[in-house]
Structure 1
């Protein structure tokens, strides 16, 4: 029996070796192709340097050999021609001054904070379905629809809904909506001020974005009143701009920091669920109930050169795309009343196709700003062959891994993340932060990209020089991108959103 066992083991080993030998040529070919691509990328990216350095060396050597006295004569001429030296120096100083005064001022991300709700606001699936059934507003078909959406959504059992939704029956009111907004905004701001040691009186610019809740006085006024911000603060309140409003708010703060010197800007991004829960039976309006959860973020930006040493990131690019001129894109995320006059947000079945079109437009603008020359040449050559010569070939998708080290894709839903992973040809690790954010916190609207960045930091993956691409989609329809560069090996801030659970992630959230 032992001999038979050894024979079987040996035959199995031989079989594995034969399989490896058969696959070895394919493996070697793939390895060769990989290094050919890398060689092409480095060659094209450094083509100018490779060409100019030898030429400059040749010119210097030739000049020193043939006319060694020319450089000495030029120095003597400048030494005795004081007027020419002064004029040249004046032009140089003037040009340098104009350049320094007109160039864009760097904008630094000093720190940011994300909201983590108390444990009593958690809404596991069974509790969500139980409370939905007890409201008496949903028929059996709607309840079953919500159950299926939850199962396929990518959300976990630890997401949060506001306190008013935990009551039986739910009690959405203006007061409870204000309380939700205050808990989120004041929570993230308290943590931000504590971590950065910045005084509220030092804030010169305040931008708040919340799409569906816009009370009077505004949310920005609530913050001014709470923290007694100074009277000449520039405050803005953005409403109705959807899940990509956080990037818009950063862009607005960036523009203001170009004008107002040596100041801080705070960007607060949140969404309010209390008054925007849908209590009807229209399927397209039930989806937001299943995906949107409590969350928010506060970001501290600075244009002070002294803050570079302690800042986490430097702002590199902001690219915004708006497809609102198209009627389908305009109505694909639409707040309206159903036949029973109940208000909710309706999601069109064309949403993913419209998002894909907006993404294509956005990356067409962003690509030339961030991609290496090698990728740009491949992209434009493919485009020319397809458009001018009518050749039937697939459009070339640039390798964004050469431009970015980390991706923060808006956690709008599992389908959104799947689509971008496929279209941008990303690896599972590139979308891990987005999937885990969706699982742990749900769709927190415009603040979701900050939970994703916090996840990357909590995992210890952010290194100095790394580039981060935050991309978000919003009603209207908009696709907005922001690119950051890490100025240090970034560590997670105190009291971060993942502080109590990062060791439990990643989890398998594919059902």
Structure 2
């Protein structure tokens, strides 16, 4: 066998195996595809030298997950071992008199103290439950907006970009009822800070007011406030604006999270959960918004930045969380898990979605052509961490056996992809666009029933950034899908690049007839959905509702 043939076979085996084990091979192959044949072979052979290290790193990753799982459940293991030891001693005890003779007063006292210590440790160690009492999503009032056709919408942009944006709108999956601020499209010299502040106030204040009214809480009852917004971060902060508007207490704990992208809502929930572990009997509000007045119109010629004009729309959500056990009976969900994944260490991931300035000095949101590949890698890592927490034992064993077989065999067969539908009943997929929803459905093997809430949310409200997963959940509730005991999985993707998941367990069956239109944006129009999505749609009948904010 010639040296050249041997080298080709080594490259072929490398490519097959890297597809299974290394998420960076896609980037490697895309880069080397532009090189000459000799240079391409050389680069692939360089990757081959590090292939063994990649396998070791992946083994260490799964080993770390196993160790973390053992530590997280160590209390249960200790109790199980103690009970097992006690049961093994029972056959040697002939009667109760024999048991009394074996146990003197000292043994009883020491045993009682040990048992009391275990109970105290368990109570201190056990995390406080976090309940979701209510959610509220922003929906513009009918008297506050007017309709604008797509032709007029794209007509405000440079003529050379009109046809490109029309094609994007045809394939984006958005309908004719989404919202944008009026000044973004009607004025070419509008004041960004002033209009951005008006939009932020409306999108934050109205859901919070609806939450307080529904639950009967007073503003001074709120102990924790977390606000996240990707593009608009003024001074005073967004959380300070809420404190001033509702006159919250002077000792309220506040955070304003900026630049976290479309995946920020689970981050806010995770932060609230951690704070609720430290503060007993507390209420927390998490507000998730985006500000289209700061990024709703890009007027340059960079096509990677024009896409955002066609996707992002006005939207926001507020959720009320608590750790008070007395509120469990009127809460909707209990938080089970939050898993966060950040792949920003790789330059390709870091630059996949970012606010940037083009060559002409015009500001906009730049979406890389690699964004879907980056999102796929982040999703895979997130599922690797989430799977052991929620998958049933049968799926864990199936995956472990497949993974072990792949390591022992030389065929390079792909590992088994667990069926997450066996762990959760409802999945809220981030509405980043039709391509994002399709790709998530393909990775998770979801059917149209699971994807319908996300598709309809994208169609009705567009990409509302971090708040989109709450609009999807509201659709499920308005349709009467959520039953007591169901698990709901929210999964969001955002710049950085991040993939974050939150898993909730339903505490009661949600009655769609009892849904308040001030809280649930679908309550008064759910009978119209689902609608048939035609691709490409007739853009002559499509349009956007322009909102005039009065704050």
Distance 1:221 1:117, change over 3 A: same
Shift of 1:163: 2.7
TM-score between the two structures when normalised by the length of structure 1:
0.84
| 2:148 is the alignment partner of 1:129 | no
Picking from 230, 238, 243, the partner of 2:262 is: 243
Per the TM alignment, residue 121 of structure 1 is displaced from its structure 2 partner at its CA by 6.2
Change in Cα spacing, 1:123 to 1:396, as seen in structure 2 (3 Å) is farther
- Return the match for 1:76 from 86, 89, 100: 100
User: Which residue number corresponds to residue 36 of structure 2?
Assistant: none
Secondary structure, counterpart of 1:179 in structure 2: helix
Structure-1 residue corresponding to 2:425: 405
What residue number does 1:36 align with? Answer: none
Q: 2:313 aligns with which of 290, 293, 297?
A: 293
Match of 2:529 in 1: 505
In structure 2, the residue matched to 1:313 is 333
Distance in 2 (CA, whole Å) between partners of 1:264 and 1:254 is 11
The DSSP-based 3-state class of the residue aligned with 2:149 is helix
1:265 and 1:168 map into 2 onto residues whose CA distance is 38
Q: Distance in 2 between matches of 1:75 and 1:63?
A: 9
Distance 2:189 2:149 in 1: 13
Partner of 2:388: 368
Q: Does 1:94 align with 2:113?
A: no
Partner of 2:213: 194
Gaps of 5+ in 1: 1-55
Residue 157 (1) aligns with residue 157 (2): no
Distance 1:502 1:172 in 2: 36
1:437: how far off?
A: 0.5
Whole-Å separation in 1 of the counterparts to 2:146 and 2:222:
36
CA distance in 1: counterparts of 2:121 and 2:415, whole angstroms:
43
Structure 1 pair 458/77, CA: closer, same or farther in 2 (3 Å)? farther
Q: Which entry has the higher C-alpha Rg, 1 or 2?
A: 1
Q: Which of 1 and 2 has higher RCO (CA within 8 Å, sep 6+)?
A: 2
TM-score (structure 2 length as normaliser): 0.78
Determine if contact 1:122/1:161 at 8 Å carries over to the other structure. Answer: no
Q: What is aligned with 1:426?
A: 446
Please give the alpha-carbon distance, in whole angstroms, between the structure 2 residues aligned to 1:393 and 1:123: 56
Structure 2 gap ranges (5+): 1-82, 536-551
Aligned equivalents of 2:198, 2:273: Cα separation in 1: 30
Deviation sequence 1:138-175 (CA, Å, 0-9, x none): 12x31111111111111110111113225244724211
- How far off is 1:123 after superposition? 7.6
* Aligned residue number for residue 227 of structure 1: 246
Q: Offset at 1:75?
A: 4.7
CA distance in 1, matches of 2:432, 2:478: 21
Distance between the aligned counterparts of 1:172 and 1:330, measured in 2?
30
Matches within 5 A, 1:419-458: 419-458=439-478
For residues 201 and 71 of structure 1, what CA distance do their matches in structure 2 show?
62
Aligned to 2:509: 489
The 1-side partners of 2:287 and 2:333 are apart by 17
Contact 2:154 / 2:166 at 8 angstroms: preserved in 1?
no
Contact 1:121 1:161 in 2 (8 A): no
Aligned to 1:275: 294
Within the candidate set 460, 467, 470, 2:490 is matched to 470
Change (3 A) 1:263 1:63: closer
How far residue 336 of structure 1 moved from its aligned partner, in angstroms, is 1.0
SS in 2 for 1:70: coil
SS state at 1:225 partner: helix
1:253 correspondence with 2:272: yes
Cα contact 2:225–2:239 (8 A) shared by 1:
yes
| Structure 1: distance between partners of 2:461 and 2:145 | 10
Question: Matches of 1:335 and 1:349 in 2, distance apart?
Answer: 15
1:428-461: CA deviations, max 9, x gaps?
Answer: 1011111110011000000000001111111111
Q: 1:104 aligns with which of 109, 119, 127?
A: 127
Give the alignment's Cα RMSD to 1 decimal: 2.3
Distance 1:498 1:447 in 2: 15
CA contact (8 A) 1:332 1:347 kept: yes
User: Does the 8 Å CA contact 2:283/2:323 hold for their aligned counterparts?
Assistant: yes
Q: What is the rounded CA distance, in whole Å, between the counterparts of 1:228 and 1:121 in structure 2? A: 26
**What per-residue deviation string (whole Å, max 9, x for no partner) do you get for residues 325-373 of structure 1?**
0000000102111121110011001000000000000000100111111
Aligned equivalents of 1:164 and 1:486: distance in 2? 41
Secondary structure at the counterpart of residue 488 of structure 1: coil
C-alpha change, 1:224 and 1:74, in structure 2 (3 Å) is farther
